[in-house]
Amino acid sequence: MAQQVRFTNTTQSAFFATVRQRVEAHFQANGLSKHANGAMWAKTAFYLTSFVVFYALLISGQFGLGGMALLAGLLGAFSAFIGFNVCHDAIHGSFSADKRVNKVFSLLFNLIGANPYMWSITHNVVHHTYTNIPGHDEDIEVAPGLVRLSEDEPVNRVQRYQHLYAFFLYGLASLSWVLRKDYLKFFKDKIGQHDNRKHPRQEYFNLFFYKALYYVLFIVLPLVVLDITWWQFVLGFLLMHFVEGLVLGLVFQLAHVVEGTEFPVPDETGDMREAWAAHQMRTTANFSTTSPLAHFLCGGLNQQIEHHLFPKICHIHYPAISGIVKQTAHEFGLPYLENRTFFMALRSHYRVLRKLGKEAYALEKVRAYA
């Protein structure tokens, strides 16, 4: 049974109260809504239209194998971009002030192979509350036994090479999501310390109905209408999901598993001895915050600090409030972790994987022989 975790340091509560007050003042002073603006609606239209066009072109059968492979890769990438830019905000309730709009856009998550209800539990509830806490945040459990992301986890021989093979495993994330992860999570008794035994009846129907719809659209229909062999289809399907999984995996890992981020554990009573907002500042990092392209592609997930503090604010506003968050963090002596570019964050993540794998294993061997 998972230990009950509590954030008990009330002396740090002034940070979140201050930064929240300043962010609220920013929106009020500029007469802005916290939800989608014109730019957000434009990028939503772009991603959804592109997804439909790529799917229609692929299913048309008018291209050779090379063209179909390219379309499959683009479809995978844009599936991830829709997840980042549209569904993520909608499931958090930050896309629109109208719950019905959020509900409609959250349902699109099913069309990229994932269940929005389970995501709201594993991500919105568990990950956002217990970020980077081993045994509680299942978002950092990439492949138990294969990828080690915490110093508290025992290291094994295989993990000596995780800095090489982890990226391939990230590419399998989407495929796992479509075929097994949602089912396993749905019928799991507990996720972290969240009681997961009771679900609304409607969600049982949604899980199986939308999975079946996805299988029809992306497995049955292509096999029926396209003049390709079964193994050509399998290669295309795997390519689509590898691209989608790699994009998803890298963006999430670069926000929480880079140099400087912490993986704190509670004491024997379950106390974290820190306020929740301070915990977020120590376990989360930004990257490419000055890149318009990163903002457009990542849906604000390159600014995870702002997202974790203000998940109810649409990501389109994160660049405007990042200066407020950074200044306030420094005033309160809290870190504001960031890598200037995507590739700097990628190198940092590689070094963390190597440190927790190859270097940790070598250190264990030295201690064993000492």
For residue range 24-55, list pLDDT tens digits in order: 999 999 999 999 999 999 999 999 999 999 99
Cβ(194)–Cβ(126) below 8 Å = yes
d(CA 192, CA 197): 13
The number of folded domains in the chain is 1
Question: Is 103 inside a domain boundary?
Answer: yes
Question: Is 3 inside a domain boundary?
Answer: no
In 3D space, the residue among 312, 283, 317 whose CA is nearest the CA of residue 300 turns out to be 317
d(CA 151, CA 84): 29
Q: Confidence class of residue 1 from pLDDT cuts 50, 70 and 90?
A: very low
Whole domain around residue 304: which residue ranges?
Answer: 10-369
Question: Is 365 inside a domain boundary?
Answer: yes
Question: Is 5 inside a domain boundary?
Answer: no
pLDDT digits 0-9 by tens, 156-172 = 999 999 999 999 999 99
Residue 293 has pLDDT above 80, yes or no: yes
Residue 10 has pLDDT above 70, yes or no: no
Average pLDDT over residues 198-206: 94
**Any idea what the Cα angle at residue 157 is, between residues 151 and 162, rounded to 5°?**
65
d(CA 150, CA 222): 41
Alpha-carbon dihedral of residues 130, 134, 138, 142, nearest 10 degrees?
A: 140
Contacts of 360 (CB under 8 A, 6+ apart): 148, 151, 155, 159
At 370 the pLDDT is 62
Question: Is 336 inside a domain boundary?
Answer: yes
Question: Is 294 inside a domain boundary?
Answer: yes
d(CA 259, CA 339): 10
At 271 the pLDDT is 85
Question: Is 90 inside a domain boundary?
Answer: yes
d(CA 34, CA 270): 35
Residue 2 has pLDDT above 60, yes or no: no
pLDDT digits 0-9 by tens, 116-158 = 999 999 998 889 988 998 878 877 777 888 999 888 888 999 9
**pTM of the shown model:** 0.92
Alpha-carbon dihedral of residues 37, 103, 85, 119, nearest 10 degrees?
A: 150
Q: Is 340 helix (H, G, I), strand (E, B) or coil?
A: coil
Question: Is 66 inside a domain boundary?
Answer: yes
In 3D space, the residue among 331, 321, 333, 278 whose CA is nearest the CA of residue 22 turns out to be 321
**Any idea what the Cα angle at residue 253 is, between residues 345 and 171, rounded to 5°?**
110
